[in-house]
């Protein structure tokens, strides 16, 4: 009975178990496969993963905050995306080896209504989520600019990925705007902290806010009102999860079943 789980700290509020269990059910694998949640502290992370891999009961795990960097560092093998991003959200236990992958990158691309290759994208933030977004978009041929509150960190990241840095971006210049910062999650005014105003958005633009809240974020509400296409963090969660499920089971899960479970 192959086990799967999400590993994080904390992890109790993760939507992955419900979402991935729905994916397994829809594939007809729910009797055979299980998907749970395991809370593991940073001190215990490596030992826990090594045990899960050695015990042979688990096929793989999703990795979330704060373990994504440690996951790629301890893996025996890593995909090009996981190495380049420096973080893994998916581990697969295969023939005694721990294989790291990063499906946040592919999940982000799949959550977009179209791929703006050759067009410009603005990525807000310079943390782990920004690294995945920048790498995914740049690798797909999108012209990326980074903005970050702490300029030095943004410039460093932009130089690392050989993309642009903008201290004062003009939002209307971009086909795609991606917010990877947690601004808005705690109820603060996103427009007070980001280089955007409620009338920054233009029709035809795509705006992705990785923050996921029950209601659409203020950012996405303003973008939608301006005629932009909006994508929220739950859609990205679904898409990265579907790619992980495909890696472990070799099958394509139902996006619809996963969306329903995640928004329940
Ligand atoms: P994650 O791994 O989820 O991306 P992180 O590594 O902690 O999280 O990165 C958080 C990002 O959100 C950073 O870009 C941070 O900006 P700084 O580099 O200036 O700290 C950004 N961020 C967090 N709170 C913010 C705020 N109130 N206003 C603007 N940016 C903020």
pLDDT for res 57: 94
CA of 181 to the centre of ligand 1 (A): 5
C-alpha distance from residue 63 to each of 6, 54, 88, 95, 147 (Å): 6, 18, 7, 20, 26
What whole-number distance in Å separates Cα of residue 127 and Cα of residue 180? 8
Q: Where in the chain is the domain with CATH 3.40.50.720?
A: 106-231
Does ligand 1 come within 6 angstroms of the Cβ of 152?
A: no
Name which of 170, 118, 175 is nearest 147 in CA terms: 170
C-alpha distance from residue 194 to each of 112, 181, 183 (Å): 21, 9, 8
Residue 115 host element (H or E) = none
Residues 9-45, buried b or exposed e (16+ Cβ, 10 A)?
Answer: bebeebbbbbbbbbbbbbbebeeebbbbbbebeeeeb
pLDDT for res 264: 87
Helix (H, G, I), strand (E, B) or coil at 161: coil
- Whether 58 contacts 8, CB under 8 Å: no
Q: 143 φ, ψ to 5°?
A: -85, 110
What whole-number distance in Å separates Cα of residue 145 and Cα of residue 257? 35
* Per-residue model confidence as pLDDT tens digits over 38-64: 999 999 999 999 999 999 999 999 999
Residue of 89, 155, 182, 212 to mutate, ligand 1, most atoms within 8 A of C-beta: 182
pLDDT for res 186: 81
pLDDT for res 232: 96
pLDDT for res 52: 97
* Residue 139: burial class (beta carbons within 10 Å; 0-12, 13-18, 19+): middle
Name which of 149, 108, 160, 97 is nearest 132 in CA terms: 108
- CA-149 nearest atom, ligand 1: 19
Positions marked catalytic: 68
pLDDT for res 254: 98
**Which CATH code fits 3-102+235-262?**
3.40.50.10860
Name which of 234, 250, 251, 248 is nearest 111 in CA terms: 234
Residue of 66, 71, 108, 127 to mutate, ligand 1, most atoms within 8 A of C-beta: 127
Does ligand 1 come within 6 angstroms of the Cβ of 263?
A: no
Conformation bin of residue 260: beta by default, left when phi > 0, alpha when psi is -120 to 50: alpha
Does ligand 1 come within 6 angstroms of the Cβ of 166?
A: no
The model's pTM: 0.96
Q: 90 φ, ψ to 5°?
A: -140, 125
CA of 157 to the centre of ligand 1 (A): 13
Q: Where in the chain is the domain with CATH 3.40.50.10860?
A: 3-102+235-262
* Per-residue model confidence as pLDDT tens digits over 129-188: 999 999 999 999 999 999 999 999 999 999 999 999 999 999 999 999 999 998 988 888
* Per-residue model confidence as pLDDT tens digits over 198-257: 999 999 999 999 988 778 899 999 999 999 999 999 999 999 999 999 999 999 999 999
Minimal-distance CA residue to ligand 1 atom 18: 150
Edge-to-edge, what's the strand order for the sheet holding 206-209?
164-165, 143-147, 120-124, 176-179, 206-209, 229-232
Fold of domain 106-231: Rossmann fold (3.40.50)
């Amino acid at each position: 009975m192959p086990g799967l789980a999400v590993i994080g700290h904390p992890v109790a509020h993760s939507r992955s178990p419900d979402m991935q269990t729905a994916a397994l059910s829809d594939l007809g694998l729910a009797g055979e496969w299980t998907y749970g949640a395991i809370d593991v502290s940073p001190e215990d992370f490596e030992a826990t993963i090594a045990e899960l891999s050695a015990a042979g009961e688990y096929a793989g795990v999703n990795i979330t905050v704060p373990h994504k960097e440690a996951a790629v560092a301890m893996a025996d093998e890593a995909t090009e995306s996981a190495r380049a991003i420096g973080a893994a959200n998916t581990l697969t236990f295969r023939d005694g080896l721990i294989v790291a992958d990063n499906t946040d990158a592919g999940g982000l691309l799949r959550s977009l209504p179209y791929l703006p290759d050759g067009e410009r994208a603005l990525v807000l933030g310079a943390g782990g989520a920004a690294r995945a977004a920048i790498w995914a978009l740049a690798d797909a041929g999108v012209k990326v600019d980074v903005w970050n509150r702490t300029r030095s960190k943004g410039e460093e990241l932009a130089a690392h990925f050989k993309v642009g840095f903008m201290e004062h971006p003009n939002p209307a210049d971009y086909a795609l705007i991606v917010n990877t910062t947690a601004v808005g999650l705690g109820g603060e005014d996103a427009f007070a902290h980001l280089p955007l105003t409620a009338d920054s958005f233009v029709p035809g633009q795509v705006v992705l806010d990785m923050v996921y809240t029950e209601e659409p974020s203020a950012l996405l509400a303003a973008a939608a009102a301006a005629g932009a296409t909006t994508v929220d963090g739950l859609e990205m969660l679904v898409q990265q999860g579907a790619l992980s499920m495909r890696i472990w089971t070799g099958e394509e899960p139902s996006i619809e079943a996963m969306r329903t479970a995640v928004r329940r």
